[in-house]
């Protein structure tokens, strides 16, 4: 594994040098340092075992929640069944804000806000996946630059009365009581998490087809309004 990894480092470095890709391709050496934030729960490399979280060898290209020996939340298993596959984009979104991508994930981790740190970390993790040189840096079919979600979108101050009006449609599934059978409660979510989650559906990073359709019809202002309304619901 180690010599394999060295090869990857060399490959990455030479690609970066030859193609001027250094801006888009992360630095796996720096990424190894960023991985310290994950190490209390995840192992990687030769002999890696499942700990609090599953080992992360071969994570690229795998279906979310698919290691039969690991313990997962219902939300992660459902996301995998709905079609969540770990790619550069989805891993990036998950590491940035785990609960905004996966409903009620067991991974209690605040997320890494720095885009460059995430890029480096993912470059490091690629080295432990099969044929890392074949893993595209970005999916050709990617819907959007999720990790570049415009800060202006997060800065929109939602009109909660308008949100209440829009929310009647949501309530057919997401009950006011917060009670749910399979449908997660969304009352009292922090505004930013709510907005990020809705945009993740809108950009089809989160797989659920009904939610993709719901979010796809909403403008940035409408999402902000809904976030403002649901934030204050018990």
Residues forming contacts to ligand HEC in the complex (CB under 6 A) are 37-38, 40-42, 52-54, 56, 59, 64-65, 67, 70, 72-73, 75-76, 78-79, 86, 91, 94-95, 102-109, 112, 121, 169-170, 172-174, 183-184, 186, 194, 197-198, 206, 208, 210-211, 214, 226
Q: Are 88 and 122 in contact (CB under 8 A)?
A: yes
Closest CA to 132 of 31, 34, 33, 59: 59
Q: How far is the CB of 48 from ligand HEC (least distance, A)?
A: 12
Q: Which is nearer to ligand HEC, 22 or 40 (CB)?
A: 40
Contact 90, 84 (CB under 8 A): yes
Question: How near is the Cβ of 2 to ligand HEC at its closest, in Å?
Answer: 20
Residue pair 45/1 in contact by the 8 Å Cβ criterion: yes
CB of 143 to ligand HEC, least distance (A): 16
Contact assessment for residue 65 and residue 72, using Cβ atoms and an 8 Å cutoff:
yes
Asked if residues 229 and 158 have their Cβ atoms less than 8 Å apart, the reply is yes
Nearest residue to 103 (alpha-carbon basis) of 198, 231, 230: 198
Nearest-angstrom CA–CA distance, 61 and 66: 11
Smaller CB separation from ligand HEC, 13 or 214:
214
Residue closer to ligand HEC (CB basis): 12 or 56: 56
Burial of 63 (0-12, 13-18, 19+ CB in 10 A): middle
Q: How far is the CB of 179 from ligand HEC (least distance, A)?
A: 14
Cα–Cα distance between 20 and 10 in angstroms, integer? 15
Residue 12 or 88 with smaller CB distance to ligand HEC = 88
Smallest distance from ligand HEC to CB 157, Å: 17
Shortest gap between Cβ of 196 and ligand HEC (angstroms)?
9
Based on the number of CB atoms within 10 Å of its own CB, is 217 exposed (0-12), middle (13-18) or buried (19 or more)?
exposed
R_g of the chain computed on alpha carbons: 19
Least Cβ distance, residue 19 to ligand HEC (angstroms): 26
* CB nearer to ligand HEC: pick between 14 and 71: 71
């Amino acid at each position: 594994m180690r010599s394999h990894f060295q090869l990857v480092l060399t490959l990455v470095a030479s690609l970066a040098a030859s193609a001027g890709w250094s801006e888009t391709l992360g630095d796996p050496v720096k990424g190894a340092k960023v991985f310290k934030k994950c190490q209390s729960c995840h192992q990687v490399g030769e002999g890696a075992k499942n700990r609090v979280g599953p080992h992360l060898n071969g994570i690229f290209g795998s279906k979310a929640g698919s290691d039969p020996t690991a313990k997962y939340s219902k939300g992660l298993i459902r996301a995998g069944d709905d079609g969540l596959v770990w790619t550069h984009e989805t891993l990036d979104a998950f590491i940035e804000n785990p609960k905004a991508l996966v409903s009620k994930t067991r991974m209690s981790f605040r997320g890494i806000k720095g885009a460059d740190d995430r890029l480096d970390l993912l470059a490091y993790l690629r080295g432990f996946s099969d044929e890392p040189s074949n893993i595209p840096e970005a999916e050709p079919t990617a819907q959007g630059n999720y990790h570049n979600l415009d800060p202006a979108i997060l800065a929109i101050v939602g009109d909660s009365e308008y949100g209440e009006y829009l929310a009647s449609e949501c309530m057919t599934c997401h009950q006011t009581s917060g009670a749910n059978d399979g449908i997660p409660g969304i009352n009292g979510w922090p505004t930013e998490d709510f907005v990020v989650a809705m945009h993740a559906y809108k950009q089809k990073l989160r797989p659920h087809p009904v939610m993709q359709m719901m979010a796809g019809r909403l403008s940035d202002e409408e999402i902000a309004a809904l976030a403002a309304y649901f934030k204050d619901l018990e």
